[in-house]
């Protein structure tokens, strides 16, 4: 090793020792005859000292010539500092340097390599390898490392077998777009990259593996949003001979283990809520339970009083924002404008202030008496000082708008604390959802999810009402993952494909191998997948997953550091039996 110690480990106990450190120059302070250098590595910072008289002139000159981010090796003696720094663990000591080797010089970095940087997003992505030098960024990837190790430790202890499923698989048009890979050896044919190892993990259950897991890269060629990446990582699992309850218990166990081992947090028991309840009370299948502010339906109280907007609405619904009764006119106007933005799409916002004196002040005083508003307040469990916010319209849009408003109020009132974690199982998802564009039903989870037995007859009469054995884990309003109990017999799987609009031939061509496998003794089974990037972001208290990925791509799916994707050589195309066919402009 080019060092005897790291830059993070020397303490007062080490004084008088001869040591060699290696690392990056974080800072040089030159007081003429006295030079201090902060030497940094992954493990910490240690101060080097060069002093005129006790150090030869050449060494002093060399120290003076060091620039930021130079890589150096310094050999010397650990001494006690005269003025200690209690902000860093090595702050009691410094190294009186006897020899100094510049291992590599460095150009001036394009942005400051400190926790607070002056680099913009684009610049930091282009020089990602410099951005990763910043402690705050590297620590996110160290958190990710810790979470991977702890996940595996837990799964291994629970008798799960980690199996690597293939990356070069087969394209299936169901779901998102596939990335494809032309096969040179099989001209005109293509592999696809997996959107998930779904069929393989089910085949492993048919194989009797009983408990499978994998931390695995998956790929979706979607139009990217800020928080999506074309390649992402899942904790992927499957179990045999289980009920839904067994899966929830196992992965609640994993979640608790991770919070405990990585963050030292004892998580409370994970609540359960049906999809129907989540939609009714939070207008959302991933409610943020760090705060309450449940929806209260007001149709019975608000209709028939001459306010035509409410009278003609399918739904009148309110939330009670505790302690927001003091909101000013300006704040209320801003809220109203906020819900009327096209992204939210509400027509307007009705408010009721619950005054401290027991009276009410609302934006609809013309139509509702103090008695009327009192009835609203009572139904909504409001206290003096609270603010009621009411939206109306068609049921679906109104719930959606109210969900957004609820989240905003939670944010504005400081109820969405990033160090508080409220996990929730949402269960009993619908099996199918109607797609307006294609005018047919799609699988809400995926085509391998089993319907609830008692709902199977509804498949023919009211497909949208069929509930699935499907569940999501939600933490703080973020969907961490989901899964289902799978279909494990050919007949049901065929029925499912039929309802999804597959012809028998299409189903056979794409998933024939799976249906055939079900005929050779498939056990009842189910599983789950967690979005690992997002889980890490939640643990780190971030909204964006990008910082938790070592080398992420930008919103055009481009890695600006290595400049990829890029054109390839004509010979490569020829060998692969493909040609580029750009549309004419």
Instruction: Summarize the annotated binding site for L-aspartate as residue ranges.
Output: 174, 220, 445, 486
Is position 89 an interface residue for a second copy (rule: CB under 8 A)? Answer: no
CA distance 324 to 333: 14
Closest distance between a second copy and the C-beta of residue 213, in Å? Answer: 10
| Selection from 211, 166, 161 nearest residue 191 by Cα | 166
As a three-state string, the secondary structure of 431-474 is: CEEEECCCCEEEECCCCCECECHHHCCHHHHCHHHCEECEEEEE
* Closer by beta carbon to a second copy, 116 or else 563: 563
State which of residues 61, 227, 246, 433 lies at the interface with a second copy (CB under 8 A).
246
What is the closest distance, in whole angstroms, from the C-beta atom of residue 479 to a second copy in the complex? 21
Return d(Cα 373, Cα 368) in angstroms, integer: 6
- Closer to a second copy at the Cβ: 116 or 583? 583
Segment lying near a second copy (by CB under 8 A), choices 55-63, 76-84, 338-346, 522-530: 522-530
Q: Which of residues 207-236 bind a second copy (CB under 8 A)?
A: 207-210, 217, 219, 221, 223-224, 230-231, 233
Using CA atoms of 571, 575, 577, 583 in order, give the dihedral in degrees to the nearest 10.
-20
**Binding of a second copy at residue 282 (CB under 8 A)?**
no
Of 105-113, 333-341, 401-409, 499-507, the window that binds a second copy (rule: CB under 8 A) is: 105-113
- Please give the residues from 475 up to 494 whose contact with a second copy meets the rule CB under 8 A: 488-489
Q: Which of 106, 375, 413, 415 is in the footprint of a second copy by CB under 8 A?
A: 106
Measured between alpha carbons, how far is 171 from 509 in angstroms, rounded to an integer? Answer: 11
Residues 352-371 interacting with a second copy (rule: CB under 8 A): none
Specify the residue, 129 or 434, whose C-beta has the smaller distance to a second copy.
129
Binding letters toward a second copy, positions 539-568, x by CB under 8 A? ----------xxx-x--xxxx-xxxxxxxx
Question: How do beta strands 44-51 and 34-41 pair?
Answer: antiparallel
Query: What are the distances in angstroms from CA 501 to CA 80, 439, 495?
Result: 77, 10, 10
Residue 54 gets which letter from DSSP? T
Q: Could you tell me the smallest distance in angstroms from the CB atom of residue 390 to a second copy?
A: 42
Contact status: 179 vs a second copy (CB under 8 A): yes
Stretch of 54-62, 372-380, 466-474, 573-581 lying at the interface with a second copy (CB under 8 A): 573-581
Count of other CB atoms within 10 angstroms of residue 68: 15
Show Cβ contacts of residue 25 under 8 Å, excluding neighbours closer than 6 positions.
Answer: 37, 38, 39, 40, 66, 67, 68, 69, 70, 71, 72, 106
Residue that has been written with the tokens 């493909």 in this structure: 578
Cβ 552 to a second copy shortest distance, Å: 8
Q: Residue 164 gets which letter from DSSP?
A: P
Which residue, 312 or 577, has its beta carbon nearer to a second copy?
A: 577
Structure tokens at 463: 């497909």
Could you say whether residue 70 binds a second copy (CB under 8 A)?
yes
By CB under 8 A, tell whether 515 contacts a second copy.
no
CB of 277 to a second copy, least distance (A): 27
Q: Which of 309, 229, 195, 244 is nearest to 551 (CA)?
A: 229
Name which of residues 130 to 159 contact a second copy (CB under 8 A). Answer: 130, 132-133, 138, 141-142, 144-145, 148-149, 152, 156
Contacts of 64 (CB under 8 A, 6+ apart): 28, 30, 35
Among the listed residues 48, 78, 95, 193, the single contact to a second copy using CB under 8 A: 193
Nearer to a second copy, 183 or 336 (CB): 183
Beta bridge partner(s), residue 93: 80
Region near a second copy per CB under 8 A, out of 27-35, 351-359, 476-484, 570-578: 570-578
Q: Which of 33, 65, 122, 166 binds a second copy (CB under 8 A)?
A: 166
3 state DSSP class of 350: strand
- 544: helix, coil or strand? coil
- Residue 538 CA to residue 532 CA, distance in Å, equals 10
**Cis omega (within 30 of 0) on the bond before 565?**
yes
Distance CA 535, CA 311 (A): 44
Is 572 a binding residue for a second copy by CB under 8 A? The answer is: yes
When binding is defined by CB under 8 A, the residue of 104, 308, 343, 439 that contacts a second copy is 104
Count of residues binding a second copy (CB under 8 A)? 125
Q: How many residues does the chain have?
A: 585
Could you say which of 32, 53, 188, 342 contacts a second copy (CB under 8 A)?
188
Report the C-alpha gap between 442 and 428 in whole angstroms: 17
Nearest-approach distance from CB 540 to a second copy, in angstroms: 15
Binding mask 15-54 for a second copy (x = CB under 8 A): -------xxx---------------xxxx-----------
Site for a second copy (CB under 8 A): which residue of 49, 125, 127, 445?
127
The answer to whether 5 contacts a second copy (rule: CB under 8 A) is: no
User: Residue 162: helix, strand or coil by DSSP?
Assistant: strand
At residue 300, the 3 state secondary structure works out as helix
- Choose between 254 and 407: whose C-beta lies nearer to a second copy: 254
- For a second copy, the binding residue among 60, 93, 95, 206 (CB under 8 A) is 206
Q: Which of 12, 65, 129, 333 binds a second copy (CB under 8 A)?
A: 129
458 vs 561, beta carbon nearer a second copy: 561
Pick the closer one to a second copy by CB: 17 or 20. Answer: 20
Sign of the torsion angle spanned by Cα atoms 392, 397, 402, 405: negative
Residue with Cβ nearer a second copy (58 or 581): 581
Could you tell me if 448 and 198 are in contact, meaning their C-beta atoms sit under 8 angstroms apart?
A: yes
Nearer to a second copy, 99 or 417 (CB): 99
For residue 156, give the 3-state DSSP assignment. Answer: helix
Q: Cα–Cα distances in Å, from 8 out to 21, 28, 363?
A: 10, 18, 61
Residue 251 binding a second copy, by CB under 8 A: no
161 sits near a second copy (criterion: CB under 8 A): yes
Nearer to a second copy, 14 or 207 (CB): 207
Candidate residues 59, 204, 273, 321; the one interacting with a second copy per rule CB under 8 A: 204
The edge-to-edge listing of strands for the beta sheet with 350-354 is 296-297, 315-321, 387-393, 350-354, 360-362
CB 451 within 8 A of CB 489: no
């Amino acid at each position: 090793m080019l060092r005897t110690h790291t830059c993070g480990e020397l303490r007062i106990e080490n004084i008088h020792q001869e040591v060699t450190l290696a690392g990056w120059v974080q800072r040089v302070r030159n007081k003429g005859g006295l030079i201090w250098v902060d030497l940094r590595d992954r493990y910490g910072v240690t101060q080097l000292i060069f002093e005129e008289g006790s150090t030869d002139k050449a060494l002093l000159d060399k120290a003076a010539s060091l620039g930021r981010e130079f890589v150096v090796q310094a050999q010397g003696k650990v001494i006690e500092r005269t003025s200690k720094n209690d902000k860093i663990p090595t702050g009691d000591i410094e190294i009186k340097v006897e020899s100094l080797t510049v291992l590599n010089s460095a150009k001036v970095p394009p942005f400051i390599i400190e926790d607070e940087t002056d680099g913009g997003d684009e610049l930091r992505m282009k020089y990602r390898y410099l951005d990763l030098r910043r402690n705050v960024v590297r620590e996110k990837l160290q958190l990710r490392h810790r979470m991977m190790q702890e996940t595996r430790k837990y799964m291994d202890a629970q008798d799960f077998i980690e199996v690597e499923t293939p990356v070069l698989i087969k394209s299936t048009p169901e779901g998102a777009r596939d990335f494809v890979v032309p096969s040179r050896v099989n001209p005109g044919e293509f592999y696809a990259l997996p959107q998930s190892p779904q069929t393989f993990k089910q085949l492993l259950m048919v194989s009797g593996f009983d408990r499978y897991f994998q931390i695995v890269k998956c790929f979706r060629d979607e139009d990217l949003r800020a928080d999506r990446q074309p390649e992402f990582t899942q904790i992927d699992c499957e179990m045999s001979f289980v009920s839904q309850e067994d899966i929830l218990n196992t992965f609640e166990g994993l979640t608790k283990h991770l919070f405990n081992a990585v963050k030292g947090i004892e998580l409370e028991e994970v609540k359960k809520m049906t999809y129907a309840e989540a939609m009714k009370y939070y207008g959302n299948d991933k409610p943020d339970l760090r705060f309450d502010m449940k929806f209260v339906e007001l149709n019975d109280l608000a209709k028939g009083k001459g306010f035509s907007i409410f009278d003609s609405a399918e739904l009148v619904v309110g939330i009670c924002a505790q302690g927001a009764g003091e909101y000013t006119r300006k704040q209320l106007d801003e809220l109203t404008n906020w819900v009327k933005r096209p992204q939210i799409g509400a027509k307007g916002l009705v408010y009721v202030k619950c005054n401290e004196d027991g009276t009410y002040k609302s934006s609809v005083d013309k139509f509702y008496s103090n008695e009327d508003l009192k009835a609203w307040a009572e139904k909504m469990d409001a206290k003096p000082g609270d603010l009621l916010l009411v939206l109306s319209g068609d049921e679906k849009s109104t719930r959606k708008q109210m969900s957004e408003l609820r989240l905003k109020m939670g944010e504005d009132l400081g109820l969405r604390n990033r160090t508080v974690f409220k996990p929730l199982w949402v269960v009993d998802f619908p099996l199918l959802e109607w797609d307006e564009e294609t005018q047919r039903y799609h699988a809400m989870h995926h085509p391998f999810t089993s319907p609830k037995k008692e709902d199977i007859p509804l498949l023919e009469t009211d497909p949208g009402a069929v509930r699935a054995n499907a569940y999501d884990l939600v933490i703080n309003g973020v969907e961490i993952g989901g899964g289902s109990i799978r279909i494990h017999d050919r007949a049901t799987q065929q029925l499912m494909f039929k309802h999804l609009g597959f012809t028998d031939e299409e189903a056979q061509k794409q998933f024939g191998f799976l249906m055939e496998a079900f005929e050779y003794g498939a056990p009842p089974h189910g599983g789950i997948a967690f979005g690992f990037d997002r889980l890490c972001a939640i643990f780190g208290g971030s909204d964006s997953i990008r910082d938790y990925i070592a080398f992420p791509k930008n919103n055009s799916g481009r890695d600006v550091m290595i400049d990829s994707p890029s054109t390839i050589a004509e010979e490569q195309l020829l060998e692969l039996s493909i040609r580029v066919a750009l549309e004419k402009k």
